[in-house]
């Protein structure tokens, strides 16, 4: 069972997220919060596997909640809810280890897929949010920098990188490359270290920057 904490200041939004997530048999919403103030305590008390957190909230916002979770050492994975116009907030969340980003108008299926991916340790990149992020940096400079960084990878690491960028889980990558999931996890760890990335979202964005994926 995937235990989920929902953090959003709008009751209707929380209710909608709960309804969607609890339609999936393996997901249980264990707690809700209106601000980020109690996120660390609730995540630990309820043993939340995944927290779905709105970026913009009164009081301690989603970014503050994410940073508090990271400082606490909590194992809870974080999916950020965002909207157009919050690009700088998305970048900061990415830098602080968020494992996925969703627009508030995403489909129910997309929300469920994102929670499942986060629970499995994979990244989820909403296509709309990816386009938002990729538009923040000069394309020419971004591509050159990404290509330079990816040059440090071996051929096999590059193969794994391409599949990460396509949104594949470790299990899917293993099946595609005829390797065990454990071996793929080792490759992912090496890729993160070589590229100086803290999560798969950053890796996937680098691959897109370098032109390895559409």
Q: Show pLDDT as tens, one digit a residue, over the chain (214 residues).
A: 999 999 999 999 999 999 999 999 999 999 999 988 889 889 989 999 999 999 888 888 888 999 998 888 888 999 998 775 556 677 777 777 888 888 888 899 989 988 998 888 777 777 666 666 655 554 555 566 777 888 889 999 999 998 888 777 788 899 999 999 899 989 998 998 888 887 777 787 788 777 776 5
pLDDT, residue 4, reads: 97
Tokens for 71, please give them.
Answer: 């400082």
Which pTM value belongs to this model? 0.71
Q: How far apart are CA 50 and CA 48, in angstroms?
A: 6
Domains, the chain, ordered by start: 2-134 (3.40.50.2300), 139-209 (1.10.10.10)
For helices 170-177 and 155-165, the axis angle rounded to 10 degrees is: 130
What pLDDT was estimated at residue 133?
62
Round to whole Å and give the CA distance between 99 and 36.
Answer: 17
- In 3D space, the residue among 60, 73, 124, 61 whose CA is nearest the CA of residue 94 turns out to be 124
């Amino acid at each position: 069972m995937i235990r989920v904490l929902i953090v959003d200041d709008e009751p209707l939004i929380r209710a909608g997220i709960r309804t969607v997530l609890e339609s999936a048999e393996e997901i249980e919403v264990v707690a809700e919060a209106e601000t980020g103030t109690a996120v660390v305590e609730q995540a630990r008390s309820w043993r939340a596997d995944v927290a779905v957190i709105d970026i913009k909230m009164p009081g301690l916002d989603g970014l503050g909640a994410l940073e508090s979770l990271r400082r606490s050492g909590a194992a809870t994975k974080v999916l950020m809810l965002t909207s157009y116009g919050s690009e700088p907030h998305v970048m900061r969340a990415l830098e602080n280890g968020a494992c996925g980003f969703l627009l508030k108008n995403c489909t129910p299926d997309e929300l469920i897929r994102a929670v499942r991916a986060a629970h499995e340790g994979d990244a989820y990149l909403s296509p709309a949010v990816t386009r938002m992020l990729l538009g923040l940096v000069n394309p020419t400079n971004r591509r050159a920098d990404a290509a330079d960084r990816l040059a440090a990878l071996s051929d096999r690491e590059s193969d794994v990188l391409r599949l990460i960028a396509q949104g594949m889980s470790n299990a899917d990558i293993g099946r595609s490359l005829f390797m065990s999931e454990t071996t793929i996890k080792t490759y992912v760890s090496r890729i993160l270290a070589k590229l100086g990335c803290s999560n798969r979202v950053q890796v996937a964005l680098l691959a897109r920057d370098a032109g390895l994926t559409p």
